[in-house]
Chain A
Amino acid sequence: MKLSKYPLLVQNEILHNMKYTDLFLMSFVSKKIKELIKSSQALRFQSINRIVYGFSVNGLPVVYVPCPGGRIVTFVKQWDKKGFQLNISEKLIDFGILESSYCPVAFLAPSDQESIIRSLHDYFLDFFGNTVEYCWNTKYNPDQEELFIPQLGNLTACSIQNEGGYGQSLKKSAAFFDKAPVVTGQ
């Protein structure tokens, strides 16, 4: 089955019926395909108000569009199954597919997590367009040295889920926002 043999209208209808996560993975097939997705899905992408960096029901960090089936990518700290590598914004990142949800998982090496997230984020800015706002949800736990909130483009909201040590988390988040005036605390 050759996708290019379909008329453009049919190609658009097929892409329109794909979830964000599948469009994201498909965009790595070729430059032409990425452009086709971006142009044919421009209206759909413009209707995305926000993309959230948060947590899945099983506690894994995840990037999603807040709508049913909106998950784009899940992060894992361990992946021993079959996978593949993607070059995302000049960085090679290891990926796999979660069999239970057909969702891609990105291997987030603890030593390299900020640069991996930054590369993915740059890709999202290009792919979904820079009109989308991003929200960073994080959990604070008093054992942590630092709150991890990377400074990313279009990050307009941030929520910190407190897991104890309320005063500590407030102090750390205040210190963070003082250092990053472009990020608005909510």
Chain B
Amino acid sequence: MSSTEQGTSSAAPAEPTTAPESAAAPEVPESFYYVHGKDKVVHKVSAGALQHSALIHGMISNLGYTEEQAKANPFPFENIDGDILQMVVDWCNQHKGKPTPPEDTNLPKQKEKLFDLVLAVNYLEIKELLTYCCKQVAMMVKGKSPEEIREIWMIPTDAEDEAAEKEAKKRAGKEAAGETAAAAGDAK
């Protein structure tokens, strides 16, 4: 993946309007980290962009990797599909160091992609993106009848809930009986 970090201008302004001490402050080189998903494709992401993810930010702070160590040890996210991780990385890059807007219209429209994105974002603890995604999921049922909501979010009926509960009780009873029988066998 090509790094999409925004370039920072190194040229000093002709007539600085900021305080002299801030203009004289040395620029700290940006550090980069590497992540990969299920598809093992490695993405290079700046520490600034990764700040959106509380999980990765915590990992970075705790590990204290050098650039070489970071390159040699990409963070593996085997539970996230490659295309979903790409979306997350793109979002983090786009919103690096910027205040997040109240709406985000670039989220996937397909239900299954959005579903996977929500799970990934929740796992990576990217609060703002999670809020956008949840808003979009909530919009899916705007102005829908209860039956339509049930279909969209695959919610079981009361009868199905009751049957599942009975089944779970039955299974738990069988497992408990099996354990008792096994314990009795061991005692013999």
Contacts and interface: CB of A to CB of B under 8 A. Distances in A.
B38 interface: no
A94 to B, nearest CB: 12
Given A10-B130, A84-B145, A30 B157 contact: yes
B155 A30 contact: yes
Given A1-B112, A25-B149, A14 B137 contact: yes
A9 B122 contact: yes
Contact of B141 (A2, A5, A7, A26): A26
Given A13-B130, A14-B138, A97 B143 contact: yes
A86 B118 contact: no
A87 to B, nearest CB: 11
A1 B135 CA distance: 15
Interface string B123-158: 000000011001101101111111101101111111
A171 B135 CA distance: 50
Contacts of B140: 1
Interface stretch (A16-24, A43-51, A143-151): A16-24
Nearest to B132: A17
B119 interface: yes
B145 to A, nearest CB: 5
Contacts of B118: 6, 10
B130 A1 contact: no
B161 A2 contact: no
Interface residues of A, number: 34
A1 B115 contact: yes
Contact of A14 (B112, B134, B157): B134
A79 to B, nearest CB: 13
Contacts of B155: 3-4, 29-30, 33
Nearest to A13: B134
B147 A84 contact: yes
A99 to B, nearest CB: 8
Counting chain A CB atoms within 10 Å of each CB, the highest count among B137, B146, B156 belongs to: B146
A102 B143 CA distance: 4
A31 B146 CA distance: 12
A30 B134 contact: no
A184 B143 CA distance: 35
Contacts of B157: 30
Nearest to A86: B146
A103 interface: yes
A46 B18 CA distance: 48
Contact of A29 (B122, B134, B142, B146): B146
B70 interface: no
A22 B130 contact: no
B134 A97 contact: no
Given A10-B122, A10-B130, A22-B142, A1 B152 contact: yes
Interface of B: 111-112, 114-115, 118-119, 122, 130-131, 134-135, 137-138, 140-147, 149-150, 152-158, 161
Given A29-B149, A29-B150, 7 more contacts: A1-B140, A2-B153, A10-B122, A14-B138, A26-B149, A29-B155, A97-B145
8 contacts: A1-B137, A10-B130, A14-B137, A15-B138, A17-B137, A30-B150, A30-B158, A97-B143
